[in-house]
Amino acid sequence: MCGIVGAVSGRNIVPILVQGLQRLEYRGYDSCGVAVNAAQTQMGQAAGLQRARSTERVAELVAQVNAPSGGLQGTTGIAHTRWATHGAPAVHNAHPHFSPGPGVKAGEGKGRIGLVHNGIIENHEELRAELQAKGYAFASQTDTEVIAHLVDALYQGDLFEAVQAAVRQLRGAYAIAVMAKDE
């Protein structure tokens, strides 16, 4: 069973997020990841949504986020341990998933919405087709990425409203944590 963590603080939240993942490790997982909204450019890190993901243990993720060159820092963040249901256990399928908006090639562009998800979205295929028709490109095989793009498509400056509207279109059993670059 996977785990999700979300946190907001006045100081760097990454140690709290990875500690949350360490506490969830006992549940088992095939990959893990953490993302922050970096309000300003830090040493070796660009502003905006940034993430680190791994198909190894949380300890390897900790090494990535603490790397002297290009570590991760921010005051708002989300994190996840994944137990794959849709898509192989691979880095590109690991959460957090980002939506860079429509008209951007898969794997390119900056994240506007970042999301972690526990559970299954039953109507992901139909939603994926609708979002592809709107110009969203998919970088993973997960049902999760559909939610990130759906929230982006509905976002008009209020993340809570966009998430509420997105959830009304989802079928399945799930929990999510979401953040927006602009909030």
Residues engaged in binding ligand GLU (CB under 6 A):
2, 82-87, 117-120, 142-144
Reduced to 3 states, what is the DSSP secondary structure of residue 159? helix
- Find the shortest distance in angstroms from Cβ 62 to ligand GLU: 20
Nearer to ligand GLU, 38 or 127 (CB): 127
Nearer to ligand GLU, 13 or 147 (CB): 147
- Find the shortest distance in angstroms from Cβ 113 to ligand GLU: 16
- Find the shortest distance in angstroms from Cβ 86 to ligand GLU: 4
- Find the shortest distance in angstroms from Cβ 75 to ligand GLU: 26
- Find the shortest distance in angstroms from Cβ 63 to ligand GLU: 22
Nearer to ligand GLU, 50 or 140 (CB): 140
Q: What is the DSSP string of 96-124?
A: PEEE--TT--TT-S--SEEEEEEEEETTH
Nearer to ligand GLU, 38 or 151 (CB): 151
Instruction: Give kind and range of the element (H or E) at residue 174.
Output: strand 172-180
Long-range CB contact pairs, 20-29, < 8 A, 24+: 20/79, 21/58, 21/61, 21/79, 21/80, 21/81, 22/58, 24/81, 25/57, 25/58, 25/81, 27/1, 27/2, 27/3, 27/81, 27/83, 28/1, 28/83, 29/2, 29/3, 29/81, 29/82, 29/83
